[in-house]
A and B are shown apart, each in its own frame.
Chain A
Amino acid sequence: MTSATATRQAPSRLGRKTTSGLVTLFTWFVVFVFFFPVAWMVFTSFKTEGAAATFPPQFVTDLSLDRYRDILGRGMGPYLINSTIASVGSTLIVMLLAIPAAYGLSVRPITRWSDMLFFFISTRFMPVAASIIPVYIVLQKAGLLDNINALAFLYVGINLPIAIWMMRSFFAEIPREVVEAAQIDGAGYFRELVRVSLPMVSPGAAAAALITFIFAWNEYFLANLLTSTLARTTPPFLGSVVDGRGQFLAALCAASTLAVLPVVLAGWVAQKRLVRGLAMGAIK
């Protein structure tokens, strides 16, 4: 890491270009190492089970989409659908609740706003340990175990705080004058929110929605515990692909590739906004 700073600052010399090239080469090597497990997963998903289980590993072998056909044939589809319902549904509700709350917190700071912020942020960090036992027992008594809507509702609780935090930081960036001008023009508070502020924070809202979606899509603990067959989502399903008797590596890789694809693609597209959201608005 020193050399990286050094090359940028070094006075021009003959060796400078070579050093810079070496640092670039080293950087790409590190990138390759970090990305390798993902690349290997995708590569293995195209192999036959036999080829996936050979050692030393085969780098040249017959590739096909057969494992994807197998895994979908073994009924992965419904799990993906359940994941979609839980994540999209909870994301929509989270945004419906978070946008007004964040607006209330930022554009029109209520008294003790900082208290309120602290409350919301701390609920995000409350361990699931705090609530899981009563939640399980209540759902069991109400016959709501293995119910995808119940799972989605719990995801709302998990993701609401982080969405409020992100949205608050986006609302806070709207210049006061814009809001005041709208009010002088006679717009009510509500109309001002919908007509003026909301359009200005829509890129931020998209980022908040994306992060909410990612957390819900990837959630394992609650999904594993509270669903069994009907409402099972993708993360707990993946473990069931592991087969104690037969070969399963290629099938596992195919299932995992399908499972991570939506979030990885969305994350790649929106990476700039993602950073800011994940740092909860602390970083521009």
Chain B
Amino acid sequence: MAQTTAVDPAADADDTPPPSSSPRQALKANSASARERKFGRKLLLPAFVVSVIITQVPFLVTIYYSFQDWNLQRPNDRAFAGFDNYVTVFTGGSFIPAMIATIIIVGGSVLLSLVLGLGLATLLDRKFVGQAFARTLLITPFLVMPAAAALIWKWTMLDANVGMVNWALGLLNIPAVAWNTDFPLVTIIAVLTWQYTPFMMLILLAGLQSQSGEILEAASVDGAGGWRIFTAMTLPHLRQYLILATVLGTIMMIQVFDPVAIMTRGTGGTKTLSYLLYERAFVGLEVGEAAAYGVVTVILTIIVATLALRSVFKFLTEEGSRS
């Protein structure tokens, strides 16, 4: 597939082989390492083949479909369509709003969960009564099945009549809000933020705990205040963890479908690219047009994911293989 080969992590591989392998390969006889490589390839092959069959081959077929004029209601009425489907995608008026919805939902949720996650990680990074228990409770939202989270939030938390959010607002004398009908975008971002904050928190907490206590103490002895230590030392130390959390969070959320399908059905500016494609293909039965949306979505995702992945790829592999 294009996104895998176009980039050149191979260059990295030649320059910086994994630390564990370089001295060994230099020492070993050529024939032995060749046999070893052959063995390695054999081990890789099954997983590689399965991955190609399930993910790569269907994408090639999707590309083929995107050049077909094909509606499932008229299955026999199939013809080559040239770039017609792509023209529909870009001039049909649904694509740009869907892209904006995706950016707002993913961007908003990533940002909010990152900030909240940083706050929670900072609160948890100190000794207090029941610390382990607090952490256990805090990771729960991330473990909750997204379909259940969407339903519970929609019907018991955000419902206009019996929702607990409105009840809490009522305690503060704030009038009830019809979240689900008036602010669908907010409801989606709320659920996603609730689910992903624990994920961000866990990564950032690991970052905070890897910070050397002695250095912080020295800074404190030298008279640096809490805020100054946080901005001058903790945040720079956290930088790579923040990047990692952002990239992984974005990649997981960019395919967001469950809360949109369950809570809003794409109404009120929540029709993301993945929901739009679903609607065109499985409600409108427009295979060709939906395939074109699919191809465009994939290309956009590849661009974002490649840029994002490349920014953390070194970090992932170096940290992972360091022993």
Please give, as numbers and ranges, the residues of chain B lying within 8 Å of A35 by CB-CB distance: 137-138, 140-141
Q: How many angstroms from the CA of A274 to the CA of B303 in the assembled complex?
A: 29
CB distance from A76 to the nearest CB of B (A): 13
Q: How far is the CB of A178 from chain B (nearest CB, A)?
A: 11
| In the complex, B266 has a CB within 8 A of chain A | no
Contacts of A172 in B (CB 8 A): 18, 20, 320-321, 323
Which chain B residue shows the least CB distance to A134? B61
Whether B62 contacts A133 by the Cβ 8 Å rule is yes
With both chains docked as a complex, state the minimum distance between the C-beta of B161 and any C-beta of chain A, in angstroms.
6
For residue A89, which residues in chain B have a CB less than 8 angstroms away from its CB?
none
Please determine whether A1 and B167 come into contact, CB atoms closer than 8 angstroms.
no
Cross-chain contact A5 with B41 (CB below 8 angstroms): no
User: Which chain B residues border A256 with CB–CB below 8 Å?
Assistant: 145, 148, 151-152
Would B59 and A101 count as touching, CB distance under 8 A? no
Q: Which residues of A contact B277 (CB under 8 A)?
A: 129, 132
Contact residues in B for A253 (Cβ distance below 8 Å):
152, 156
A27 touches B244 (CB 8 A): no
Bound Cα distance A252, B134 (Å) = 27
Q: For A105, give the chain B residue with the smallest CB separation.
A: B44
Interface pair B144/A114, CB less than 8 Å apart:
no
How far does the alpha carbon of A157 sit from the alpha carbon of B258 in the complex, in Å?
19
Q: Is B129 an interface residue (CB 8 A)?
A: yes
Given contacts A35-B138, A225-B282, is CB(A115)–CB(B62) below 8 Å? Answer: no
Asked if B43 and A100 sit within 8 Å, CB to CB, the answer is yes
* 1/0 contact string of A5-49 vs chain B (CB within 8 Å): 111111000000000100110111011001111101100100000
Asked whether A104 and B40 contact (CB < 8 A) given A57-B164, A169-B320, A235-B147, the answer is yes
B67 located at the interface, meaning its Cβ lies under 8 Å from any Cβ of chain A in the complex:
no
What's the A-B contact tally at a CB cutoff of 8 Å?
Answer: 391
Let me know if B237 is at the binding interface, CB within 8 A: no
- Segment of B87-95, B181-189, B307-315 engaged in the interface with chain A: B307-315
B297 within 8 A of A: yes
Contact of A37 among B3, B5, B156 (CB under 8 A): B156
Q: Are B140 and A125 in contact (CB under 8 A)?
A: no
Tell whether B239 is near chain A: CB-to-CB under 8 Å.
Answer: no
Consensus secondary structure, chain A interface: helix
What are the interface flags for B236-251 relative to A under an 8 Å C-beta threshold, 1 for contact and 0 otherwise? Answer: 0000010010001001
Q: Does B86 contact A (CB under 8 A)?
A: no
Chain B contacts of A134 at CB under 8 A?
Answer: 58, 61-62, 65
Bound complex: CA A248 to CA B156 (Å): 11
Q: Is the CB of B148 within 8 A of A275?
A: no
Which residue, B17, B295, B316, has most C-beta atoms of chain A within 10 A?
B316
Taking a contact as CB atoms under 8 Å apart, the answer to whether A1 and B123 are in contact is: yes
Chain A stretch 90-127: residues in CB contact (< 8 A) with chain B: 97-98, 100-101, 103-106, 108-127
Instruction: Find out whether the CB atom of B138 lies under 8 angstroms from the CB atom of A108.
Output: no
B13 within 8 A of A: yes
Chain B positions within 8 Å of A125 at CB level: 251, 254, 301, 305, 309
Q: Mark B86-127, 1 if CB is under 8 A from A, else 0.
A: 000000000000000000000000000000001110111110
Q: Which of B136, B226, B312 contacts A10 (CB 8 A)?
A: B226
Partner of B155, one of A110, A242, A259: A242
- Is A142 in the interface zone, CB < 8 Å from B? no
Q: Is the CB of B148 within 8 A of A283?
A: no
Task: For B199, give the chain A residue with the smallest CB separation.
Answer: A278
B29 CB within 8 Å of chain A: no
Contacting pair A9 B197 (CB below 8 A): no
Instruction: Please state if B274 and A129 are interface contacts (CB–CB under 8 Å).
Output: yes
* Residues A214-260 near B (CB distance < 8 A): 214, 217-218, 220-221, 224-225, 234-236, 238-239, 241-242, 248-249, 252-253, 256, 259-260
- A279 touching B65, Cβ below 8 Å: no
Report whether A127 and B297 are in contact in the complex, using a CB–CB cutoff of 8 Å.
yes
In the complex, the answer to whether B55 meets A157 with C-beta atoms within 8 Å is yes
B178, CB-defined interface residue at 8 Å: no
* CB proximity of B224 to chain A, nearest CB, Å: 8
At the interface, yes or no: A4 with Cβ under 8 Å from chain B?
yes
10 residue pairs from A and B, CB less than 8 Å apart:
A113-B18, A117-B317, A119-B1, A124-B251, A129-B277, A133-B61, A264-B144, A274-B202, A279-B244, A284-B319
Closest 9 CB pairs of A and B: A157-B54, A6-B226, A131-B58, A104-B43, A101-B47, A114-B13, A9-B220, A169-B320, A134-B61
The residues of B with any CB-CB pair to A shorter than 8 Å are: 1, 3-5, 7, 9-10, 12-13, 17-18, 20-21, 24, 36-37, 39-44, 46-48, 50-51, 53-56, 58-59, 61-62, 65, 118-120, 122-126, 128-130, 134-149, 151-153, 155-157, 161-162, 164, 167, 170, 194, 197-199, 202-203, 206-207, 210, 216-217, 219-220, 224-227, 229-230, 234, 241, 244, 248, 251, 254-255, 257-258, 261-262, 273-274, 277-278, 281-282, 287, 290-291, 293-295, 297-298, 301-302, 305-306, 309, 312-313, 315-317, 319-321, 323
Which residues on A are within 8 Å of B, measured CB to CB?
1-10, 20, 23-24, 26-28, 30-31, 34-38, 40-41, 44, 52-57, 97-98, 100-101, 103-106, 108-138, 153-154, 156-158, 160-161, 164-165, 168-169, 172-176, 180, 189-190, 214, 217-218, 220-221, 224-225, 234-236, 238-239, 241-242, 248-249, 252-253, 256, 259-260, 263-264, 267-268, 271, 274-275, 278-284
Other A-B pairs, 13, CB within 8 Å; known A7-B226, A56-B170, A138-B58: A24-B129, A27-B128, A37-B141, A40-B156, A55-B162, A101-B46, A101-B48, A105-B44, A118-B309, A154-B54, A220-B146, A278-B202, A279-B206
